């Protein structure tokens, strides 16, 4: 009887499953956070490119808002174009797509200034 009890105590079947179930949520959380940072970095790059396109369009007297919108398709955006003297500045703010449970909103901003072409 004692030998049978000792054999059950030393039996480790199922331990891997318990460890996997305990660790998996943390691995999933780390993957979600890493993915969210990659999406944020991509949004920053798109915001900078959209600001550059908008400023370039404004520098040649075209519609900067349309150019910035075409360069940032799929994002909720705000475009601001200001001109002073012989330069034009385009600022594009893009809303970063977030996981549904993430609190608050995050916006990525891109700024570009270009000289007017005459």
Predicted pLDDT at 7: 59
Whether 52 is in a domain gets the answer yes
6 part of a folded domain: no
Please report whether residue 110 resides in a domain: yes
Per the domain annotation, does 9 fall within a domain?
no
- State how many domains the chain has: 1
Range of the domain at 104: 15-115
> What's 64's domain CATH number?
3.30.1300
Q: pLDDT tens, 53-75?
A: 999 999 998 899 999 999 999 99
* pTM exceeding 0.85: no
Q: 83 falls in which pLDDT band (50, 70, 90)?
A: confident
pLDDT-derived band at 90 (thresholds 50, 70, 90) equals very high
Assigned domain for 8 exists: no
Q: Is 33 helix (H, G, I), strand (E, B) or coil?
A: helix
Q: Is residue 108 part of a domain?
A: yes
Q: Is 62 inside any structural domain?
A: yes
Q: Render pLDDT for 3-58 as a digit per residue (tens, 0 to 9).
A: 665 655 666 777 888 888 899 999 999 999 999 999 999 999 999 999 999 999 99
Asked if residue 94 is part of any domain, the answer here is: yes
**Contact status, residue 86 vs residue 116, Cβ threshold 8 Å:** yes
């Amino acid at each position: 009887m004692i030998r049978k009890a000792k054999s059950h105590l030393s039996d480790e079947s199922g331990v891997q499953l318990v460890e996997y179930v305990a660790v998996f949520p943390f691995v999933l959380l780390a993957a979600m956070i890493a993915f969210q940072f990659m999406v944020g970095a991509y949004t920053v790059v798109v915001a900078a490119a959209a600001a550059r396109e908008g400023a370039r369009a404004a520098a040649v007297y075209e519609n900067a808002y349309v150019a910035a919108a075409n360069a940032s398709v799929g994002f909720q955006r705000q475009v601001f174009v200001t001109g002073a003297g012989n330069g034009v500045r385009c600022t594009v703010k893009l809303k970063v797509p977030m996981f549904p449970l993430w609190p608050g909103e995050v916006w990525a901003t891109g700024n570009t200034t270009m000289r007017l072409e005459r």
